């Protein structure tokens, strides 16, 4: 991996010289972020395009509820409970793919096996002081991350996704933020345009597809089966994570549709589709995730159908 261009980009974001702090301390604080409550607005940049989003996040109880609403262009919306989408709107309804703020538990021991962790200094985002943490991959199968963590709450105020060539692939950045749950609880309720997502559990590993190869450190985190909104077909999704990066494998029957293999790069997101013939008919396997294209292609090629 070429680290010089990467560090040049990372360092350009800092406004104060390096700060002596332990990454493990900040990752420990970050683990509790999801239980906090906050609301605000953030910008999302990908592939040269920008969008603005509002977020309402309520923690502290037995469950965590979060609603995101796109404020410019189409009013795309998603409501999640404990990280699982309950309803989505607009184009998001097709694949349950949505903008997700990167506030989640990160395990320092797990990440240390596949990322080098460095504190780069301090910055200021949305009027709040933050500490900057870089997570640099030790191999070519994943991207680098830069997290600007709020000094008061440890909430990621800004998240940058960076390629091995030092290119900025994706940016989340708060514009306004207010911590605490002093917002109208009605703001957590979905609009009428938000379509329900129906799930049923898939037994693992007996009746589910599996990847014959995943990058070191990636593990199957969730296997779900849901009924498509416009048909009775069952769609399987497999979520793989390494503790930071993630990708999802979708498997759906083609029912005679003339669909060809495809590969697309949408900013940081690789999308690879591969047609597979099985004993029960042709299936389309699609890998979607913020991983390099080569990683997504290798995973798609390795998919194995369930044993009969």
- pLDDT band of residue 196 (cuts 50, 70, 90) is confident
Looking at residues 99-119, what average pLDDT do you find?
Answer: 79
Q: Is the pLDDT of residue 245 over 80?
A: yes
Query: Contact, 256 vs 214, CB < 8 A?
Result: no
One domain for residues 258 and 292: yes
One domain for residues 180 and 207: no
pLDDT of 308 reads: 57
One domain for residues 272 and 202: yes
pLDDT of 132 reads: 96
3-state secondary structure of 252: strand
One domain for residues 125 and 21: yes
Domain assignment of residue 298, yes or no: yes
3-state secondary structure of 68: strand
Angstrom distances, CA of residue 276 to CA of 240, 253, 279: 20, 10, 10
One domain for residues 224 and 156: no
Q: Is the pLDDT of residue 93 over 80?
A: no
Query: Contact, 208 vs 306, CB < 8 A?
Result: yes
Starting at the edge strand that comes first in sequence, how are the strands of the sheet with 219-227 ordered?
A: 200-201, 219-227, 234-241, 246-253, 281-289, 269-278, 262-266
Query: Contact, 185 vs 68, CB < 8 A?
Result: no
Domain assignment of residue 84, yes or no: yes
**Torsions phi, psi of 143, nearest 5?**
-100, 170
Looking at residues 258-277, what average pLDDT do you find?
Answer: 89
pLDDT of 75 reads: 80
Domain assignment of residue 92, yes or no: yes
More confident residue, 46 or 103: 46
One domain for residues 90 and 158: yes
Q: Is the pLDDT of residue 221 over 70?
A: yes
Q: Which of 290, 26, 8, 9 is nearest to 148 (CA)?
A: 26
One domain for residues 135 and 274: no
Q: Which of 210, 206, 219, 205 is nearest to 305 (CA)?
A: 210
Domain assignment of residue 20, yes or no: yes
Taking the C-alpha atoms of residue 100 and residue 83, their distance in angstroms, rounded to an integer, is: 10
User: Using CA of residue 206, residue 212, residue 217, residue 218, what is the dihedral sign?
Assistant: negative
Angle at 155 between CA 119 and CA 267, to 5 degrees: 80
Select from 142, 157, 188 the last residue of a domain.
188
Q: 227 is written with which tokens?
A: 């009924």
One domain for residues 174 and 220: no
Which residues, 6+ apart, have CB-to-CB distance to 185 below 8 Å? 58
One domain for residues 214 and 234: yes
222 lies in which domain range? 198-304
One domain for residues 169 and 261: no
CATH number for the domain spanning 96: value is 2.50.20.10
pLDDT of 12 reads: 43
The model's pTM: 0.79
pLDDT of 83 reads: 81
Q: Is the pLDDT of residue 71 over 50?
A: yes
pLDDT of 67 reads: 94
Burial class (CB in 10 A: 0-12, 13-18, 19+), 308: exposed
Taking the C-alpha atoms of residue 291 and residue 308, their distance in angstroms, rounded to an integer, is: 31
Average pLDDT, the chain: 82
Query: Contact, 69 vs 57, CB < 8 A?
Result: no
Domain assignment of residue 193, yes or no: no
Select from 188, 206, 233 the last residue of a domain.
188
* pLDDT one-digit tens code per residue, 2-54: 333 444 444 444 443 444 468 988 988 887 787 889 999 999 998 788 899 99
Select from 188, 209, 241 the last residue of a domain.
188
Structural domains of the chain, count = 2
Q: Is the pLDDT of residue 96 over 70?
A: no
One domain for residues 41 and 177: yes
Domain assignment of residue 232, yes or no: yes
One domain for residues 27 and 162: yes
CATH number for the domain spanning 224: value is 3.30.200.100
């Amino acid at each position: 991996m070429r680290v010089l261009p990467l560090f040049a980009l990372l360092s350009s974001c800092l406004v104060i010289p390096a700060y002596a702090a332990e990454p493990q301390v900040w990752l420990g604080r970050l683990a509790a972020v999801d239980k906090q409550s906050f609301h605000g607005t953030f910008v999302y940049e990908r592939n040269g395009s920008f969008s603005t989003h509002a977020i309402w996040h309520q923690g502290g109880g037995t469950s965590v509820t979060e609603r995101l609403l796109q404020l410019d262009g189409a009013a795309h919306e998603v409501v999640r409970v404990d990280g699982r989408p309950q309803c989505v709107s607009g184009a998001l309804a097709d694949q349950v793919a949505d903008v997700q703020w990167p506030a989640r538990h990160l395990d320092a021991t797990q990440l240390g096996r596949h990322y080098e962790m460095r504190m780069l200094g301090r910055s200021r985002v949305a009027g709040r002081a933050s500490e900057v943490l870089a997570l640099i991959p030790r191999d070519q199968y994943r991207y680098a991350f830069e997290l600007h963590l709020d000094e008061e709450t440890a909430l990621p105020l800004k998240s940058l996704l960076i390629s091995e060539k030092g290119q900025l692939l994706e940016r989340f950045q708060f514009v306004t933020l207010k911590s605490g749950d002093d917002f109208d609880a009605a703001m957590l309720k979905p609009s009428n345009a938000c379509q329900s997502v129906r799930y049923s559990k898939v037994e693992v590993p007996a009746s589910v597809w599996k990847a014959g190869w995943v990058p070191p450190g990636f593990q199957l985190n969730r296997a779900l089966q849901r009924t498509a909104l416009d048909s009775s077909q069952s769609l399987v999704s497999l979520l793989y994570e390494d503790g930071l990066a993630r990708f999802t494998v979708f498997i759906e029957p083609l029912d005679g549709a003339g669909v060809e293999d495809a590969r697309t790069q949408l900013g940081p997101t690789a999308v690879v589709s591969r047609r597979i013939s099985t004993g029960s008919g042709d299936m389309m396997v699609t890998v979607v995730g913020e991983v390099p294209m080569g990683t997504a292609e290798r995973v798609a090629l390795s998919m194995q159908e369930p044993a009969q």
